[in-house]
Structure 1
């Protein structure tokens, strides 16, 4: 079967729930899930796993090159990216690439995946990025230090603000590039805010003796990954039906109103910075 859906970050949590839902509904094609560790349970025969360390631009490039050279090559209808990490570590660069690990996973790697997989996408493909489509704004950016190389400027909150905000900008950049191609391309780019979801992300920051209690409480007050997956998939389809080239949706799948429409100058600055940073990482000069 041909690969028509790729879910990066699909080995657990929201991404895994999304992959399982798509696989169950689309049994005639393969759903490829990728992440660091193969899930212990793959419940559908049309789910395939391939490992990927999505913090590394070089590993992402190798992964996409393999996909593009495969026979038959995928014809993608859907690219979902939900990879993420919750960590209190200070700025920690990916060895030889010069990008903070958290920012590489949450932002730069996702842009490289889109860029490299775009030639495989159908004219009506959907791209769903599960990160934080709610809180981003161009006003939160330090424009002269977008990748927060200056140690005096780096903080966990600022790194999150930059990734969230630049993601908003690039969603609009991708939509702009698509619209320039004319009516033959009708792809949709969606940046989603999942809200509080009962996943395993807290395992890296909560002491082991507290994890059982956190999991129990989370099951009561947080949304399940499957419910979140259902809402985000429904919201993405509604954006497609409305003909929206780009959208930000909330944890119910509703289009977020009042999101800033970026100026051409703002979009160009973020896009230029993104590709310069990624190119340096690929060349080992970051």
Structure 2
């Protein structure tokens, strides 16, 4: 078994990577992020650096993985994220840093690694599978270049991740017999270091909430991975290959099934933006 966990150098991703590595001793678990963790507790884990805000770096990362003719992937987990109250903060590629992490980079990773995903691979996006509102999408400004706000950015990333989970399954159905499962998960409140980028006066509040109400990254990892296993089993029986789960690993009820026209519009926008960014000259 081979797994890539982007965002796996700390927090929820690290918890999920460690759990996979511990449960499947024969696996290879690649954890990627900007900084190598001080402790890599299992011999079957390895670190590969990646700045997941950069579409160019993601493209180089995936090209390198594919060129090495490594084993096909059983599992792709993406937990990279940021908690900040800053306004629109563009990367050198012209994408809001928050949206690059929460949405665009995740979808580029899926697209570029799709050729090396096993036919029954599992793809897990950890962000927010519960609170997205499709009726509040600004279809004329999906990357919020003109009308950015914190609330809009959060909602756009939620809904577009929801949409792309359905898009990938629709595409796979058109193209053959693959039975890859695509899951969008909401982790809930977890006691992690995400609050470090908040203003100093908000950090104690968030850290306090995390320690009192939140669960540990390991508990979150256990719940999400157990939930994924259950949804894959149920999905195989029902012929359904996309799922949304909550912080306890339970299915999210009454998720909207978006029309094909909207799925394609989100995908076309995404590829146009990430391709332009990944081909840009570094600033």
Interval of TM-score (by shorter of Structure 1 and Structure 2)? over 0.9
Shift of residue 107, structure 1, vs aligned partner:
0.4
Q: Does 1:223 align with 2:215?
A: yes
Q: Does 1:74 align with 2:68?
A: no
Tell me the distance in 2 between the aligned counterparts of 1:255 and 1:210: 32
User: Which residue number corresponds to residue 282 of structure 1?
Assistant: 278
Shift of residue 137, structure 1, vs aligned partner:
3.0
Residues 88-138 of structure 1, C-alpha deviations (whole Å, 9 max, x = no match): 22112111x221111111100000000011111110000010000001232
User: Which residue number corresponds to residue 138 of structure 1?
Assistant: 134
Shift of residue 210, structure 1, vs aligned partner:
7.3
Residue range with higher mean Cα deviation, 127-136 or 198-207: 198-207
Shift of residue 22, structure 1, vs aligned partner:
0.1
Tell me the distance in 2 between the aligned counterparts of 1:111 and 1:154: 21
Q: 2:173 aligns with which of 179, 192, 204?
A: 179
Question: RMSD in angstroms over aligned alpha carbons?
Answer: 1.7
- Within-5 A mapping of 1:1-40: 4-40=2-38
User: Which residue number corresponds to residue 88 of structure 2?
Assistant: 91
Q: 2:122 aligns with which of 108, 120, 126?
A: 126
Tell me the distance in 1 between the aligned counterparts of 2:151 and 2:251: 25
What secondary structure does 1:143 align onto?
Answer: coil
TM-score, structure 2 as length reference? 0.94
Shift of residue 223, structure 1, vs aligned partner:
1.2
User: How many residues are treated as equivalent by the alignment?
Assistant: 278
Shift of residue 215, structure 1, vs aligned partner:
3.7
Q: 1:148 to 1:79 in 2, by over 3 A?
A: same
Unaligned runs of at least 5 residues, structure 1: none
Q: Structure 1 stretches (4+) deviating beyond 3 angstroms?
A: 209-217
Q: 1:262 aligns with which of 258, 265, 268?
A: 258
TM-score, structure 1 as length reference? 0.93
Shift of residue 219, structure 1, vs aligned partner:
2.1
